Structure 1
Amino acid sequence: MNVSEQLLEILQNEGVKHIFGVAGDALNPLVDAIGKQDQIQWVGVNHEGNASYAAFAQGELNGNFGVCASTVGPGALHLINGMYNAKKERSPIIAITGQIPVEHLGTNYHQEADLKKIYDDVCDYQAIIRSPEEAPRVILRAIRIAVNNKCVCRIELPSDIAKMKAENRDYVHTVFRSESTIIPSKKELNKAAKLINDTKKIGILAGAGCRDAKAEVVDLSIRLSAPITHTLRASDIFDHTIENVVGLTGLIGNPSGYKAVMDCDLLLMLGTDFPYTNFLPSNTKTIQIDIRPENIGNRTPVTLGLHGDIKTTVSALHSLCTEKEEDTFLVKLKEKFTDWKRSNDDKANPARDMEPLHPHIFAKATSDIASKDAIFAIDTGTAAIWASNFMNFHSDRRIIGSFNHGSMAVGLPAAIGAQLQFPDREVWALVGDGAFNMSLQDFSTAVKNNLPVKIIVFNNSQLGFVKIEMEEAGLAPNFDALRVDNFNFAEYAKLCGGDGIKVEHAKDIIAAIQTAKNSTKPFIIDAVVTNAELSLPPKIGFEEAKGFGISKIKEVLRAFNGEKEQWENIKKEIEAYFD
């Protein structure tokens, strides 16, 4: 057994099923070892960046850790964006990177890169193997840190050591995984209960840290008559059918979710490091509960911080809090949320047959047709707006994406990772055309592995979210910079061996989505949609109004000066709004 085979044996013991990567020199001994067994599949991709996104998806979804791999310097550098995404989403992954032979390190050798220095910011730990004797110790340490801290770790395997005889085989053992719970002291819990019992209007802002505590949070909200606002990552925890949920806050949020946070007298922040301080109250009493104490007070001043896991801490609080009879605050917000949902249903009605089409219709129809346990990979940009506002992630549905890192091109590779992990579940990716163009080379990977992923490409020939950002900043859009030149994505799907359909008419949307659902091949819906759809935050402050106002004035002036695209954009926005 060589060091590569020992590494593979450890990964097998820990339940790893897939390694995503691109083969090459330093990795060849590992790839050779994979070929001699059938427990772990080597999933060859066309770009290492897609490998790390696929590994992120598995780390996020499977209760274990994802694994990606690359050869020396250049390939290892391609991994880094997906690894940053995993870091920001707190999804445990292990990256295996090759390295040049040890004897050449530090000599500016061919393809040499100081990977330790490069990866210092993204990795919590780097297992840099410099001898067969230390290999099992540092490999196991990397896995132990990744799974218990929910973080990114890297294993560096030089090409010469990869082929050496394995040592210390008797040291290999099952990785320790903590199942401990953390609960604040009785004194702190009593302080929190007093604040809660002395306050009438309470709001809850719940994040992804509540994933294992859904029932406890909902029970507490019912006891306190407290509306629940959720973060984007928690959309599949506190879906639109859950009692007392009033929606999302932030730039892509809704009015009732925003008001529940901003208009309460006491805010309970549960399992969230919500970063948008403009959407957090500055003078409201706040109790923040988090498993990571460094998050407490990170975004807004807190009246009381509680270090604990949400499930245990909220359960303990529940028994200390008195039931609140007054529910006017909650009732008004629930009514407002119901009105917002009804309005969105109207916006997403296929009877709105303006062409190019409204993107809302595709999102809502997908939500209505997809299975109850579907997995949705949501790309960054306007796709996230349409998904969060017009879809309902109820039952056992899951969403994954680049919600904290905000990187484009996560949708397709994350869908590949998810489908390999869960072959019996529907996996949908909702992506913009700009993001899809970055990653489409690995649609062929989905075909090669017979993965029936369903890809909806919002084809508006524009970087739509960047346009919104320019307008918010008071700039007239630069349409040359925003333009995305597309080919027929449905024909591309067929060329790769998959299937697809281009949809340009509203009457064809439902049938296309149903066809994608039933397809046994990777399937692309080329959804030709308008680039003039306006997306407004739940509350427009002076700065936002000023930015958009200045932007529109500039657009009008430039239109009068003969810039045809500015005038066409204004007309299309008016048409999209009133259709």
Structure 2
Amino acid sequence: MNVSEQLLEILKNEGVKHIFGVAGDALNPLVDAIAKQDVIEWIGVNHEGNGSYAAFAQGELGDNFGVCASTVGPGALHLINGLYNAKKERSPVIAVTGQIPVEHLGTNYHQEADLKKIFDDVCEYQGIIRSPEEAPRVILRAIKIALNHQCVCRIELPADIAKMRAKNQDFVHKIFRSNSVILPQKEELDEAMGLINNASKIGILAGAGCRDAKAQVQYLSMKLKAPITHTLRAADIFDHSTKNVVGLTGLIGNPSGYKAVMNCDLLVMLGTDFPYTNFLPEKTKTIQVDIRPENIGNRCPVTLGLHGDIKSTITSLGSICDEKKDDSFLKELIQEFDDWKKSNDQKADPSRDMEPLHPHIFAKTASDIASDNAIFTIDTGTAAIWASNFMNFHSDRRTIGSFNHGSMAVGLPAAIGAQLQYPDREVWGLIGDGAFNMSLQDFSTAVKNNLPIKIIVFNNSQLGFVKIEMEEAGLAPNLDALKVNNFNFAEYAKLCGGDGIKVEHAKDIIPAIEMAKKATQPFVIDAVVTNAELSLPPKIGFEEAKGFGLSKIKEVIRGFNGEKEQWENIKQEIEAYFD
């Protein structure tokens, strides 16, 4: 057994089924070892960055860690963005990177890169192997930290050591996985009880840290008559059908979710490091519960911090608090949320046949037709707006994306990783055309592995979210810089060996979504949509209004000066709004 085979054995012992990567020099011994067994499958991708996104998806969705691999310097550098996404989403991932032979390190050798320095900011631990004797210990330590800290760790395997005879095999053992609970002290829980009992209008802001505590948070909400506002990452925990949920807050939130947070007299933040301070109250009394104490008070002043896991802490807190009688605050916001949902249903009705089409019709239709345990990979940009506002992630549905890192091009590779991990579940990707162009080279990887992923590409020939950013900043959109030159994505899917359909008419949307659902091979819906759809935050402050107004004035002036594209943009926005 050589060191590469020892590494593979450890990964097999921990339940790893896939390694995503691109083969080459330093990795060749590991790839050779994979070929000699049938437990772990090598998933060759066309770009290492897509491999790291796929590994992120597996770490995010399951109870294990994802694994990606690359050869020396250049290949390793391609992993960075997907790994940084895993770091920000707190998804356990192991990155195996090759390295030039040890004897050449520090000599500016061909393809040499100081990977330790490069990966310092993304990895919580780097197991750098410099001898066969230490290999099993640093490999095991990297996996242990990745799992128990929910983070990214790297294992560096130099080309010469990869082929050496393995040592210290007797040290190899199963990884310890902690299931411990953390509970605040009784005095702290009593203080929280006092704050809750003395409050009349309580709002709950719930994040992804509540994933294993949905029932407990719901019980607390019902006892305290407290509306639940959720973060984007928690949209598949506190879905639109969950009792007492009033929606999302933040830049792409809705009014009732915003008001529940801003108009309460006690805010209870649960398992969230919600970053948008403009959407958090400045003077409201706040209780924040988090498993990571460094998050407490990170975004707004906190009256009381509770260090604990959400499930245990909320179970204890819910048992000692008085039940509230006045539910007027809750009822008002539930009614507003219901009205907002009905309004969105009307906006997303396929009878609205303006062309190019309204993008949210595709999102709503996919939500209506997809299975109850579907997985949705949502790319960064306007795709996230249409998904969060017009889809319902009820039942056992899951959503993943680059919600904290905000990187484009996560949708397709994450769908590949998700479908490999869950071959019996529907996997849908909602992706903007800009993001799809960044990652489409690995659609052929989905074809090669017979993965029936369903991809909706919002084809508006523009970087739509960047346009919104420009307008909010008071700039007239630079339409040349925003333009995306697209080809027929459905034909591309067929060229790769998959299937697809281009949709330009509203009457074809439902049939196309149903075709994708039934497809047994990778399927692309090329959704030709308008780039003029407006998306506004739940509350527009003076600065936002000023920026948007200035942007429109500048667009009109440019139109008067002969820029026809600016006139066309204004015309389409008016048509999209009033259609």
Query: Paired residue for 1:265?
Result: 265
Name the amino acid aligned to 2:498: G
* 1:315-334 to 2 correspondences below 5 Å: 315-334=315-334
Query: Paired residue for 1:429?
Result: 429
Task: State the alpha-carbon separation in 1 of the partners of residues 66 and 465 from structure 2.
Answer: 30
Name the amino acid aligned to 1:424: D
Q: Secondary structure of 1:377's partner? A: strand
What is the total number of aligned residue pairs between the two structures?
579
Name the amino acid aligned to 2:320: L
Structure 2 segments unaligned to the other structure (5+ residues): none
Query: Paired residue for 1:234?
Result: 234
Deviation at 1:148, TM superposition (A): 0.1
Task: State the alpha-carbon separation in 1 of the partners of residues 547 and 143 from structure 2.
Answer: 47
Instruction: Write out per-residue CA displacement over residues 269-323 of structure 1, whole angstroms, 9 at most, x where no aligned residue.
Output: 0000000000000000000000000000000010000000000000000111000
Q: Does 1:448 align with 2:415?
A: no
* 1:401-550 to 2 correspondences below 5 Å: 401-550=401-550
Instruction: Write out per-residue CA displacement over residues 441-497 of structure 1, whole angstroms, 9 at most, x where no aligned residue.
Output: 000000000000000000000000000000000000001100000000000000000
Task: State the alpha-carbon separation in 1 of the partners of residues 106 and 410 from structure 2.
Answer: 34
* 1:156-235 to 2 correspondences below 5 Å: 156-235=156-235
Deviation at 1:191, TM superposition (A): 0.1
Instruction: Write out per-residue CA displacement over residues 116-165 of structure 1, whole angstroms, 9 at most, x where no aligned residue.
Output: 00000000000000000000000000000000000000000000000000
Query: Paired residue for 1:342?
Result: 342
Task: State the alpha-carbon separation in 2 of the partners of residues 251 and 129 from structure 1.
Answer: 45
* 1:367-406 to 2 correspondences below 5 Å: 367-406=367-406
Query: Paired residue for 1:87?
Result: 87
Q: Secondary structure of 1:85's partner? A: helix
Structure 1 segments unaligned to the other structure (5+ residues): none
Deviation at 1:62, TM superposition (A): 1.1
Task: State the alpha-carbon separation in 1 of the partners of residues 453 and 319 from structure 2.
Answer: 45
Task: State the alpha-carbon separation in 2 of the partners of residues 62 and 9 from structure 1.
Answer: 20
Deviation at 1:90, TM superposition (A): 0.2
Task: State the alpha-carbon separation in 2 of the partners of residues 325 and 95 from structure 1.
Answer: 53
Name the amino acid aligned to 1:313: T
Deviation at 1:554, TM superposition (A): 0.3
Moved over 3 A (4+): none
Name the amino acid aligned to 1:226: A
Quote the RMSD (CA, aligned, Å): 0.2
Task: State the alpha-carbon separation in 2 of the partners of residues 254 and 353 from structure 1.
Answer: 25
Q: Secondary structure of 2:527's partner? A: strand
TM, length-normalised to structure 2? 1.00
Deviation at 1:225, TM superposition (A): 0.2
TM, length-normalised to structure 1? 1.00
Task: State the alpha-carbon separation in 2 of the partners of residues 452 and 8 from structure 1.
Answer: 28
Task: State the alpha-carbon separation in 2 of the partners of residues 570 and 109 from structure 1.
Answer: 56
Task: State the alpha-carbon separation in 1 of the partners of residues 83 and 495 from structure 2.
Answer: 31
Name the amino acid aligned to 2:445: T
Q: Secondary structure of 1:257's partner? A: helix
Q: Secondary structure of 1:491's partner? A: helix
Name the amino acid aligned to 1:477: P
Instruction: Write out per-residue CA displacement over residues 365-384 of structure 1, whole angstroms, 9 at most, x where no aligned residue.
Output: 00000000000000000000
Task: State the alpha-carbon separation in 1 of the partners of residues 340 and 50 from structure 2.
Answer: 37
Query: Paired residue for 1:7?
Result: 7
Query: Identical aligned pairs, as a percentage?
Result: 83
Q: Secondary structure of 1:269's partner? A: strand
Instruction: Write out per-residue CA displacement over residues 22-68 of structure 1, whole angstroms, 9 at most, x where no aligned residue.
Output: 00000000000000000000000000000000000000001100000
